[in-house]
Amino acid sequence: MSQLDPRLHAYRADLAAESLRGQVSAPRYAPGRPAQVVCGVADVRRRPAVSALLDTQLLCGETVTVYDEADGWAWVQNATDDYVGYVESGALGSGDSDAYSQRRRAAHIPLPRAEHKGPAPRLLEHEQPRGRGRHQGPL
């Protein structure tokens, strides 16, 4: 079997993606389940530890396939660029886009709308532009 890059193909010594059956040897294969990043940025690491090397980052809303989850870490593959690594489980939500939308709405803080009903403000005399051309009034 040919050697595939483990950073771009979901396999490790004890587990591989079901899609890699026949390409890599593993004691077990997993189909994976979809998930979505629900925090601003999620770090993708080589090992399940905060001190592990950081390979890349996932942005809020990106989808991944989760192949394994243990001790607060999920072993995932990014659907966008195929990077594989460990992400803290708390950074992921279900792959259901409705759940993602609900969480985004819950985190949204509504701001008051600006009112634009009055006339445009006039410039005070000391704010008038000073030009050398013919035009002497406000621009």
Mean pLDDT across the chain:
83
Instruction: Judge whether residue 127 has pLDDT over 70.
Output: no
Q: How far apart are the C-alpha atoms of 39 and 28, rounded to whole Å? A: 31
pLDDT digits (tens, 9 = 90+) for 46-69: 999 999 999 999 999 999 999 999
Predicted confidence band of residue 94 (pLDDT cuts 50, 70, 90): confident
- Indicate the domain borders of the chain: 32-108
> Any idea which residue has 């279900």 for tokens?
94
Q: How far apart are the C-alpha atoms of 18 and 26, rounded to whole Å? A: 10
Q: What is the pLDDT of residue 124?
A: 64
Report which of residues 57 and 98 the model is more confident about. 57
SS3 (DSSP) at 127: helix
| Topology, domain 32-108 | SH3 type barrels. (2.30.30)
Instruction: Judge whether residue 27 has pLDDT over 90.
Output: yes
Q: What is the pLDDT of residue 86?
A: 98
Instruction: Judge whether residue 32 has pLDDT over 60.
Output: yes
Residues 6+ away with beta carbon under 8 Å from 56: 44, 78, 81, 83, 85
Instruction: Judge whether residue 36 has pLDDT over 70.
Output: yes
Q: How far apart are the C-alpha atoms of 65 and 46, rounded to whole Å? A: 16
